[in-house]
Amino acid sequence: MPTLLSHSAGNALALVQSTSLTRLVVESIEEMILAGELLPGTKLNEIALAQRFGTSRGPLREAFRSLEESGLIRQEKNRGAWVREIKLSEAADIYDVRAGLDACAGRLLAARITPDQLRTLRDMTEAMRNVQPDDVARFHELNLSFHDCIVAMTGNTILTGHYRKLCKLLALFRRRNLLAPMAIPRFAEEHSAIVDLLEARDGLGVYEALFAHAQGGRQRMLRDGELADSADAT
């Protein structure tokens, strides 16, 4: 009996270790994709990645399956795995769904927002106002953080999980929807107005403001994407 227990415990430990290793590999590859180290369309080299993470191909292939389920990579039998490429039409569909989640989060948060949460969002909008006109990348980073905070502050883990998955998929889109420098002050004010509505606990108002804000991003993305497609065709 002691031998059986010891064997079972050993199997359980091996399973935990394998699961933890797979999760670490998933997180590492995901970070490489979202940081742009692995670009959309890049084929994933199993040997190189296994050497980089110091693991066998077993956990790596498990990680690939997890990343495929999350939509970040695609696999073809006997051919390998690639970082997914998101087409303009799919990105537009994702924007539509994300706009609804943004608006839903705002309405939920308006009913329960705390003074500390308001202060955090105010600090973020103030940071947006202080972004230099040519620092578009910094504003983009603050913008993503601002909306993620609103969603996370609802405390709704289902909403947060779906929202973050969509944001990761949009990060794969090859044409990032960055604002023109001259638009930064106007969008900083839009974010500040959203916080005003949250402070007033105006659920419907913040719902409409967040939805319109997200749809504006979708329209810019479509416009820029169509212009880029036209340029590629010439």
pLDDT digits (tens, 9 = 90+) for 116-164: 999 999 999 999 999 987 888 888 899 999 999 999 999 999 999 999 9
pLDDT, residue 5, reads: 37
Residue range of the domain that includes 27: 2-83
- Domains identified in the chain, total number: 2
CATH code of the domain covering residue 50? 1.10.10.10
Residue 233 has pLDDT above 70, yes or no: no
Handedness of CA 42, 46, 49, 53 (dihedral sign): positive
Q: 117 with 192, same domain? A: yes
Q: Last residue of some domain: 36, 66, 83?
A: 83
Instruction: For the chain, give the percent of residues with pLDDT over 90.
Output: 62
Residue 182 has pLDDT above 70, yes or no: no
CATH code of the domain covering residue 148? 1.20.120.530
Q: 125 with 10, same domain? A: no
Q: 128 with 193, same domain? A: yes
Q: 65 with 133, same domain? A: no
Q: 65 with 103, same domain? A: no
Dihedrals phi, psi of 183, to nearest 5 degrees = -85, -10
Q: 155 with 99, same domain? A: yes
Distance CA 62, CA 216 (A): 38
pLDDT, residue 22, reads: 87
Q: 111 with 204, same domain? A: yes
Distance CA 212, CA 189 (A): 14
pLDDT, residue 160, reads: 97
Q: Last residue of some domain: 61, 83, 105?
A: 83
pTM above the 0.75 mark? yes
Q: 102 with 79, same domain? A: no
Residue 175 has pLDDT above 80, yes or no: no
| Count of alpha carbons within 13 angstroms of residue 78, beta-carbon side | 0
Write out pLDDT tens, residues 42-82.
999 999 999 998 888 888 999 999 999 999 999 999 899 99
Average of per-residue pLDDT across 173-179: 57
The mean of the pLDDT values for the chain is: 85
Long-range contacts of 121-126 (CB under 8 A, 24+ apart): 121/146, 121/149, 121/150, 121/195, 121/198, 122/195, 124/149, 124/191, 125/188, 125/191, 125/192, 125/195
pLDDT, residue 57, reads: 84
